[in-house]
Amino acid sequence: MMAQQENGRLFEDTLSVMTLGSQFDEESSFGSDSEINGFTSSRQTDKYGFIGGAQQYSSESAQEVPLEVLRHREAKWLDMLNHWDKWISKRFKKVRLRCQKGIPPSLRGRAWLYLSGGKVKREQNSRKFEELDSMDGDPKWVDVIERDLHRQFPFHEMFVSRGGHGQQDLFRVLKAYTLYRPDEGYCQAQAPIAAVLLMHMPAEDAFWGLVQICEKYLPGYYSAGLEAIQLDGEILNALLKRVCPPAYRHLEKHKIEPILYMTEWFMCAFSRTLPWSSVLRVWDMFLCDGVKIMFRVGLVLLKCMLGSREKLKACPGQYETMELLRALEPRYLQEGFLIHQVLELPISARDVEREHRMQLKRWRKTHGELSYKSPPRMHGTRAIMSAEPHTRQDLRQKPTIVVHYPVPSDTKSEFARVKKRSTIRKASNPTLDIPNPYALPTDPKPASLNNQTQETTSNNQSNHPPPSLQQSLLTTPEKTPSDPPASVVPPPHPPQPPQTQPSANLSRTPPPPQPSPKPKPAHPTEIPHSSNPAVTIQPLSLPKDSSNTNNSAQLTDPPPTTDSTPLLPEDTPVNGNSVAAPRVPVLQISCESVGSEDTYL
């Protein structure tokens, strides 16, 4: 059993880290990094990605947000991100309040990039990271970076594998920063900052987030000499004298300099000190309001650990006091308690700046001028947005997954803007003229299909007789001598062009009975000749049903046909110069002729 300390808590590592070098190479893409290093299902991974209980107590002490509240907050943050410049300039207090409540985990990486100003920086320096990533770094810094990679959150599933994708991206970000700021180079405290950013965003976004933290939030922290962190240590000590005098006197009595206990707190932004749920909440407020949040967190920890006489009696000397500050009590690190105390502490950015000016004067009297002149510190998002000019295009969100839907070229846009009253009205959908496949002969036809229908009908008539006529020839019995002639066949003559006369509309109601034994033709329409002169069609007639006196039962519900071939009653005579006309078939014949080409279903 070996004891490991990760993020301020001791835990027993009950399972050694096994490597599968005999089966898989460490840089192989087989499975996840934890699988390659032998972490099986017995080592549980918490919701933050830590394996083997390194953050187990943090998940128990974290505040669980109901799912409905979380979805409501996500909708609010999406609206803010879509109109970021307006929210920062006009409703920044609301943005600060939502950061204090906690950014939704699904939008935390994107929100951090907007809060830090990394989004604008990335858009204004397009292709810069790719250029730096393709370059060879300084061998001096590259060697130091490679030695520090495996030390950054070794129990997180992203960085657990040597040579895994997490460590590769971390190396790319840190090497690119040394090329971006060669005068500053690399500091070991930058690695955990970059690792936290990589847990929430891609490598390029993490690089610009690191640039903003090093240049705007904590300028001079990672330069040679660490003069800026020493100066902030004096500021923390002066603020402690005002907030908690007993703790200040105890530290002064034992001559414990702030640089001895606050260096890791501030340079790593408490990422190695607090439980992970508390780290995320502190970062949400830190990127919104600036370094004053760091001072508040440090003051709360000192006040809780050294703020009472009973606690001061437990650490009578310098060694005991330093051990107490290294092993902070978990109850003071819980998310709910810590965030509440941080928000209640009355320390503003103006207080920090006032103490900074006073301590800078003292520094110059005792140490002289600063060897590294860092740029002025920006206190939060609003100051960064005001100092750096940007356009609305720089803040526009660019999704990584784009789905293109086919849009018809002849249709208008879904919404049409109307200038009147500055409203947006939905445009009416265009009406498409779609023909009815089951239309009756009396229904009007679309104009676009009228010409095509007439051409098709004339071609069908010129090439072959109507299918209904062919069906009549196949199914009609022979004529008996007692039947009267239905038509007179003229002598053979050359074929004449078809003459089409408008036909009368058929009614679905049966006509009244005729008193005359010879009914008048209801549809005197000439039927065009066949286009083939070699074919002579003899007229045939159907046997008259003796039980039906008016022949109306067969006209009860005729099947729909084309307009060029109208239906006639069964005993209707035709003109002498035409071929036999198609008659209204009986029910059996109607069923057999349904599948013809010229019949609409």
User: Which pLDDT does position 402 carry in this prediction?
Assistant: 56
Per-residue model confidence (pLDDT) at position 398? 67
Residue recorded with tokens 């293109």: 404
Contact 56, 38 (CB under 8 A): no
pLDDT at 159 over 80: yes
For the segment 487-540, what is each residue's pLDDT rounded down to a tens digit? 444 444 554 544 444 444 444 455 555 555 555 554 444 444 444 444 444 554
Give the per-residue pLDDT at 445.
62
In angstroms, the CA 183 to CA 201 distance is 27
Residues forming a β-bridge with 423? 418
Q: Which pLDDT score is estimated for 375?
A: 84
Alpha helix (H) residue ranges in 290-442: 292-306, 309-313, 318-326, 335-344, 349-366, 381-387
Backbone angles phi, psi at 133, to 5 degrees: -70, -30
- 3-class secondary structure, 10: strand
What confidence score (pLDDT) does residue 550 get?
46
pLDDT (tens digit, 9 = 90+) per residue, 303-313?
A: 999 988 888 88
Tokens encoding 276: 């992970």
Angle at 145 between CA 141 and CA 149, to 5 degrees: 175
Cβ distance 166 to 50 under 8 Å? no
Distance CA 580, CA 127 (A): 84
Distance CA 313, CA 151 (A): 36
Q: Where is mean pLDDT largest: 381-390, 449-458, 557-566?
A: 381-390
Give Cα 483 to chain centroid, integer Å: 81
Opening angle at CA 274, ends 268 and 280, nearest 5: 80
- Write the pLDDT tens digit of every residue in 459-497: 555 555 554 444 444 444 444 444 444 444 444 455 454
CB distance 579 to 530 below 8 Å: yes
- pLDDT for 400 equals 57
Percent with pLDDT over 90 in the chain: 43
> What CATH superfamily is the domain 227-387?
Ypt/Rab-GAP domain of gyp1p, domain 3 (1.10.472.80)
pLDDT band at 45 (very low <50, low <70, confident <90, very high): confident
Lowest mean pLDDT among 206-220, 299-313, 428-442, 587-601: 587-601
Show the tokens assigned to 597: 């080409």
Q: Which position has the higher pLDDT, 449 or 335?
A: 335
More confident residue, 570 or 327: 327
Backbone dihedral region for residue 333 (phi beyond 0: left; psi -120 to 50: alpha; all else: beta): alpha
211 pLDDT band (50/70/90 cuts)? very high
Is pLDDT of 546 > 70? no
Name the token pair of 485.
């002639």
Contacts of 352 (CB under 8 A, 6+ apart): 235, 239, 291, 292, 295, 379
Q: Using one digit for the tens of pLDDT, what is the confidence trace for 107-139?
A: 999 999 999 999 999 999 989 999 999 998 889
Beta carbons of 240 and 248 less than 8 angstroms apart: yes
Q: How far is residue 369's CA from residue 432's CA, in Å, rounded to a whole number? A: 80
Whole-number Cα distances in Å, 359 to 234, 253, 380: 7, 21, 22
Locate 98 and state its tokens.
């939502």
Q: Which of 82-86, 134-138, 251-255, 443-447 has the lowest mean pLDDT?
A: 443-447
Tell me what pLDDT residue 496 has: 52
| pLDDT tens digits for range 391-448 | 777 777 766 555 565 655 544 444 444 444 544 555 555 555 566 666 666 766 655 5
Torsion of the alpha carbons at 385, 391, 392 and 396, rounded to the nearest 10: -80
Q: Is the pLDDT of residue 588 over 50?
A: no
Going by the DSSP 8-state scheme, the letter that residue 17 receives in this structure is P
pLDDT, position 58: 53
Per-residue model confidence (pLDDT) at position 204: 95
Q: How many CB atoms lie within 10 A of CB 256?
A: 16
In degrees, rounded to 5, the angle at the alpha carbon of residue 52 between the alpha carbons of residues 51 and 54 is 80
When the pLDDT of each residue in the chain is averaged and rounded to a whole number, the result is 73
Residue 292: pLDDT over 90: yes
Cβ(216)–Cβ(378) under 8 Å?
Answer: yes
> pTM higher than 0.95, yes or no?
no
Residue 105: predicted pLDDT:
94
